[in-house]
Structure 1
Amino acid sequence: MREMLYETLAAAGQHAQYGHIQYLGRGLGLLIWRAVASRRKLAVKTIQERLGLDQNQATTVARESFVQNGRSFLEILFCRQVDWRFCRDRVLIESPGHLHGILKQMRDRACVTVTAHFGAWELLGGLLHLMAPQEHKQVVVKPTHDRNLYRVIRRMRSHPTVQIIEHEQAAPKVLRNLKQGGLSAFLVDHNCRREEAVFLPFLGRKAAVNVGPALLALRAKALVWPVFLLREDPEHYRLLFEDPLDTSSLQGDRHEKLRTVAMFYTQAVERMVRCYPEQWFWMHRRWKTRPENELST
């Protein structure tokens, strides 16, 4: 019954006008801002500490972040509508020649694509479906606690060439895909368990960084490519990307290589957050997991 309700709402949303969904997303973000005081206070406090802003400045950034993330959530409804017309009308690529060069480099290589809960991240799967040259593509996600809702979201996120796989027990599937020269995409900015983490500086404080994408990239000798989709306004986006890191060229022992790769994608996320702080997911408890030496003091 609940899944049928979700399917009905999803179908209705997919037929709504794009501008209406963006308007509703803004309203959803403002509703969460007003209703969930604990997350509002967490976001403001964290922005003050990590970016050095005063309370008024931090409140402005945090409120806009809630609005942006409300829009991001409802953009799930449009994941399957990302086609070449969508790209032409809504997505700006500042350096198409540079992008073409990177995609050409990826043609015969496995690739770990890394991104963050930043901008319009839900739409990136559609762009990978269109642009990435690999035949086999994956997006690794964490499922929601509501399995009925998750099944609906998973269907909306899927594309003909993009497989959605769950974070738990994903490693064998990802490694097999990379060994076949495929592309696997990860969100790398969320908190993780201590046993999954390497602790690295992020916005001025050590954070638990998921080492899984780095380990899999090294085992497959893959490229690691940071990609982000910035929201320019409610209906237009800008594709931001950096040059990929070639893990096959790294020097040092296994531990040094892992730290190098994890630091590479952590710093890429930090650069985006510092440039466009209102587009990141500040309500998340990013620094929750702490190093063991901090717990013993």
Structure 2
Amino acid sequence: MRHRNAIFPNTKRHLKKLRYFFETALIESTAWLLPRLPRSFILGLSRSFGTIAYLADTRGRKTALDNLRCAFGDRYTLAERKRIARGSYQIFARTFLDLFWSARLTAETWQQFFTLHLPKLEDEEQARQTGAVWVTPHFGNFELVSMVWGFRGFKFTVVAQDFKNPTITNVFKRLREHSGHDVIPQENAMLKLMKALKRQGHAGLLTDLNIEPGKASAAIQCFGLWTCVPTLHVELAKRLGLSIMTGVCRPLPDGKYEVHIYEAIKPGPDEDTRELTQRVWNHFEKAIREHPECWLWMYKHWRYRPVGELSAPHPDYPYYSNLSNALIDMIPPDLRPQDSVPPNCAAAP
């Protein structure tokens, strides 16, 4: 028995190494091949991969359709929600493939593929001088918009989650640092971001992650539904006296992109964090309402809800949401839904 137990761990290690080898070979081959393919082929591949993922990902498709139902009510028919959800998969596939294709971009050629809309050039110039916190949601191509700003002389410090396979982590790190950025792991990320920003650097953050209610989060209204999102971008700006630069990158049918930068928000140290987080989100929600297929609808944006029975989903929230007293406590009393449960009622954390 001891002999058999000694063999199994070795077998698992060998299988893990073998899996990592094939994963690495596939990713490296993709990184070599895609920049050499015609742009039209990349777009066709994105549509095909996105459609296949939409059809194959039963759970994600269910989440996307229910998210759309809760966000828009009866504005869209079921057929229209399916079209939007499929488009969301296709745009996410394009974002993924374009990250590999982006090795073809340089400081001299990126302008061929991007149109920038900068309403106040003085805001950007101020950010260039002092540093800033740049934020966007999982909308359109959130990868390439960061890369473009690197080519324009804004070197971001970007937080990215590591893969289990460290070689794949290195590949994605190389791709994301192509225009001069510094990609860091999540461990001790806030300290590293603060150090970079104190040196007149720039931080690039995604702000629409749904996280557990706690100290590093805020309750905001997203499509009229309460959700809990990170406040790191607001806290960094408040502590260091920097501006929050908001914007989105929308993919166009011809393979190009359109970037819109919104207002530069410079919060005071005593301003309310929740209200500032809501103000940032409002810009993004407007863009999503105009182009709903560009958002990541298969993601669980409303894991926690402040209303409904303990054992059953609430009709206004997606099927996967869980009642959370912690979320209720984070909502200002004058804004709490009328059917919120009492704070002393046992519920999901």
Partner residue in 2 for 1:40: 61
Query: Could you tell me which residue of structure 2 aligns to residue 128 of structure 1?
Result: 149
Contact 2:147 2:179 in 1 (8 A): no
Question: Could you tell me the TM-score, scaled by structure 1's length?
Answer: 0.89
- The answer to whether the aligner puts 1:278 opposite 2:293 as a matched pair is yes
Mean Cα displacement is larger for which, 86-95 or 119-128? 86-95
1:11-48 CA-to-partner distances (Å, cap 9, x unmatched) read 12222222212211111111111101111111111101
Equivalent in the alignment of 2:320: none
1:257 aligns with 2:277: no
Question: Matches of 2:63 and 2:130 in 1, distance apart?
Answer: 41
Distance 1:234 1:145 in 2: 35
Task: State the match for 1:162 in structure 2.
Answer: 181
Task: Tell me the equivalent position of 1:81.
Answer: 104
Q: What residue number does 1:183 align with?
A: 202
Which amino acid is 2:225 matched to? R
Note if contact 1:119-1:279 (Cα within 8 Å) is conserved in structure 2: yes
Flag structure 1 segments of 5+ consecutive residues without an equivalent.
none
Q: Which of 181, 203, 210 is the aligned partner of 2:230?
A: 210
Larger relative helix fraction:
1
The answer for unaligned runs of 5 or more in structure 2 is 1-20, 306-323, 329-340
Partner of 1:108, secondary structure, is helix
Question: 1:72-120 CA distances to partner (integer Å, 9 max, x unpaired)?
Answer: 111111333333444332212245xx35333212122220000011111
Highest relative contact order (Cα 8 Å, sep 6+), 1 or 2?
1
State percent identity of aligned pairs.
Answer: 22
Shift of 1:182: 0.8
Higher deviation after alignment, 85-94 or 185-194 = 85-94
* Structure 1 residues 81 and 287: alpha-carbon distance in aligned structure 2, compared to 1, 3 A threshold: same
Further displaced range: 198-207 or 263-272? 263-272
| Residue matched to 2:281 | 266
Matching of residues 230-245 of structure 1 within 5 Å:
230-245=250-265
Deviation at 1:167, TM superposition (A): 2.8
Q: Contact 1:110/1:221 (CA < 8 Å) preserved in 2?
A: no
RMSD: 2.1
Contact (CA 8 Å) 2:107, 2:151: kept in 1 or not?
A: yes
Q: How far does the alpha carbon of each residue in 1:226-261 deviate from its partner, in whole angstroms, 9 at most, with x for none?
A: 1211112141111111020012xx37x4xx532233
Q: Secondary structure at the match of 1:260?
A: helix
| Distance apart, 1:147 and its partner CA | 3.5
Deviations 1:202-247 (A, max 9, x none): 1111111101121112111110001211112141111111020012
Distance 1:160 1:54 in 2: 42
When normalised by structure 2's length, the TM-score is: 0.77
d(CA) in 2 for partners of 1:228, 1:208 = 21
How many pairs does the alignment contain?
A: 288
**Following the alignment from structure 1 to structure 2, what is the Cα–Cα distance between the partners of residues 288 and 145?**
25
**Corresponding residue for residue 9 of structure 2:** none
Q: State the match for 1:141 in structure 2.
A: 160
Runs of 4+ in 1 over 4 A off after TM superposition: none
